[in-house]
Structure 1
């Protein structure tokens, strides 16, 4: 029997012979031949960089007229930086529902995963995808994406990426888009010093183990990439509005509230809203997308993506 070098159950195991065994997130949904049968959303895959295998899945709502401009929602999937993809069943279904409910153009980024591609590659892939979007000649993007109404979003590790992409937009002043807001679902943040009940949580050691596994050159849990409160650039978050959802039974719950406090104390001039879902666990909406509470979150997200300027 092969010896295990890294055991990150329930996500993956790495064996001493180099084999990587992903325990979750390996399923793939092919692009529908026509539109999505449940939502009527049109879906296609696009290649961004063939050399690095960087790609994305695009979603266009039904009944869009030829010149109609819609908000653009750039989405980063979760999975601890090690599992899942833009074509995973849960993400395919969730993003189809978002596109239909909010009537927005969605680009779901298929960044590369650790350990084969350790951080910061996921961040660099995500940034490269944003640069590609701005200059894209894709007809759906050119004809229907309103670059003055751009939003980033993601769950768990994807929420972490969305935040860090917004930091980079704010610090590098990327031309060609106006980032209005970001949506973070159960974002993957942590820190060296425990808050609330983290010290007693079994998740604490797992989070540290996972973070150092995916980012072996990191300084640790106070790395600004995972602990925004330690980021001197936090005040320059490059959007006006932030919507965070946390789940009561999620070990990451307290970090969502802490993120809100850190943003408000940093000098950032925007508005942050946080919603807690009672009696639910980490990213529950992906596992039961039609449940009442998941639908409530979907409607709040749709409202967030369509708010007018104030």
Structure 2
């Protein structure tokens, strides 16, 4: 006799009820958000079937494109829903991703995998991996989707999701780490929003895995700390979002702490939202805390890869600051942008500052709108001449090209033939400064200059803003850009391991700046403490800005904290 449709086999309220005849009642059915194909809309969207035989599909989101040849980063999003609910087409996820795409100016690809329990639990992972492979098949511009072919930059790829989707995204990045990916593909970051990494006595996991022996913590996908592949995870940065009242917080923090101590050599950061529960941002998307979560995610994406808008030199009538570009090494395309403040008298001599931009040695420019705006302000307020160095970028030009190019600019300036420098630069008052990787370069220039007698008397000090230095273990970015060095004992990357070298710095002042939520904060403090104990005789200071992240002052230059 056939089972009655009302006879319950598995009751997993509030997720689903499975009846003995095989039918399923999902207690939170997904709705379908409409697509937009208006080229004038802030974000366009479309659905594409990835595998017709399984029905796996993706929803692709494209921001407004102004340049037909424009290439922009890609963010892959895997939705949550306890492995058994939700859809890439639902209005909740559609609205969230559209907001991120518009703010970050990225392409987003939202994965629509087959759901449990009518499909085996493993299917959610396998479908997402298959969708990932379909997405990266466009890296050579010959995939089946024109949006990805024409506009996706797969050297700047991010993966993440929320809840169960965050767990699946983590598995994708782990699997990618042991897969021979095309050299054009670089996974820069993993973001995990209120991720599921197991809870004690997880009845849902047991219901979705009725034939599996052991609990959720014995599954390396749910508990990746037991996965031997974890150390090879294919991204260099991970951002965790947790909520104070989320029942999944404990599992997320256990993984966060374990990942910090693991052999994986990436950077890791966590943001906790006080007073909120699991995926609160979906239930109250217009709240201030929801906006903070979205903005933090966008900052994570954009700080790692900023859309670089180059601007020409200009004269500011309000401040009187002038700027111009100078080519230093034509054969290597090494140049600089010079900034001159308003001069009050004809032959006035003022200090000279060499500034080196950040960007992980591989992105950004002295001519970007962000740095141009920042250095215009600094020139006016500090009343200094600034030489902003535009060095060759990696990986096209591996380390030490950035150091050699910057050193060449210092030597060019020391000749004193450039008119602005010849007339107005006080070569007895020379400073070096930079942020992130640029701070690393500035430090290494100071080390080299300390060994060159013609520079010693003129170099007064340096300012290192959110500096990028080693912390005693290999670093994936450094190893990739400097393949002959793991960085641990390399004085360029890890100066704290060379205290005697620090003691020989010839400048009289060093200022280290860092931010409370900067993933490089500990490295900045280690450099500061090591220099303080090295025997160096100069004036040393450190300034930390609470509640802010890496180089925040560049992204919000008018804020009070940035001014500080």
TM-score (norm 2): 0.47
Contact 1:71 1:105 in 2 (8 A): yes
Instruction: Determine if the alignment matches structure 1 residue 271 to structure 2 residue 539.
Output: yes
Q: Does 1:127 align with 2:399?
A: no
Structure 1 position 29 matched with structure 2 position 311: yes
Distance in 2 (alpha carbons) for counterparts of 1:129 and 1:211: 23
Distance 2:377 2:522 in 1: 28
Q: From 98, 101, 113, give the equivalent of 2:393.
A: 113
CA drift of 1:184 comes to 0.7
Map of 1:103 onto structure 2:
383
Cα shift readout 1:218-277 (whole Å, capped 9, x = no counterpart)? 143332111111224221113110011100000111111111111122121112100110
User: How far off its partner does 1:39 sit?
Assistant: 3.2
Q: d(CA) in 1 for partners of 2:186 and 2:523? A: 30
Aligned residue among 72, 93, 107 for 2:352: 72
Q: CA deviation at 1:292?
A: 0.5
Query: Aligned partners of 1:178 and 1:68: how far apart in 2?
Result: 18
DSSP-derived class of the 2:331 partner: coil
Q: Which residue of 2 aligns with 1:223?
A: 490
Change (3 A) 1:177 1:92: farther
Match of 1:142 among 419, 422, 425: 422
Task: Tell me, in whole angstroms, the C-alpha distance in 2 between the residues paired with 1:264 and 1:160.
Answer: 18
| Mapped contact 2:449–2:456 kept (Cα < 8 A) | no
> How far off is 1:26 after superposition?
2.6
Q: 1:275 to 1:54 in 2, by over 3 A?
A: same
Moved over 4 A (4+): 6-10, 17-23
Indicate the residue corresponding to 2:113 in structure 1.
none
* Rg comparison, structure with higher value: 2
Give the direction of change, closer, same or farther, for the CA distance of 1:7–1:47 in structure 2 (3 Å limit): closer
Q: Does the 8 Å contact 1:153/1:183 carry over to 2?
A: yes
Q: CA deviation at 1:27?
A: 1.5
**Residue 479 of structure 2, aligned match among 212, 223, 226:** 212
> Does the CA contact (< 8 Å) of 1:186 and 1:256 recur in 2?
yes
CA spacing shift, 1:103–1:238, aligned 2, 3 Å? same
Moved more, 59-68 or 287-296: 59-68
Count of aligned pairs between the two proteins:
276
Residue 157 (str. 1) matches residue 437 (str. 2): yes
Secondary structure (helix, strand or coil) at the match of 1:51 reads helix
Cα drift, residue 283 of structure 1: 0.5
Query: Structure 2: how far apart are the matches of 1:148 and 1:30?
Result: 30
Question: Structure 1 residues 278, 127: CA separation in 2 closer, same or farther (over 3 Å shift)?
Answer: same
Between 1:286-295 and 1:184-193, the stretch displaced more is 184-193
What residue in structure 1 maps to residue 91 of structure 2? none
Instruction: Decide which moves more: 36-45 or 262-271.
Output: 36-45
Which fold has the larger relative contact order, with Cα–Cα distance below 8 Å and residues 6 or more apart in sequence?
1
Q: Which moved more, 1:108-117 or 1:263-272?
A: 263-272
Write the distance in 2 (CA, Å) between the matches of 1:70 and 1:245.
24
Please give the TM-score of this superposition, normalised by the length of structure 1. 0.83
2-structure distance, mates of 1:78, 1:23: 11
For residues 86-132 of structure 1, give each alpha carbon's deviation from its aligned partner in whole angstroms, at most 9, with x where no partner exists: 01111001110000000000000000000000100000001111000
Tell me if 1:59 matches 2:327. Answer: no
Contact 1:186 1:245 in 2 (8 A): yes
**1:182 alignment partner, SS class:** strand
User: RMSD across aligned C-alpha pairs, in angstroms?
Assistant: 2.3
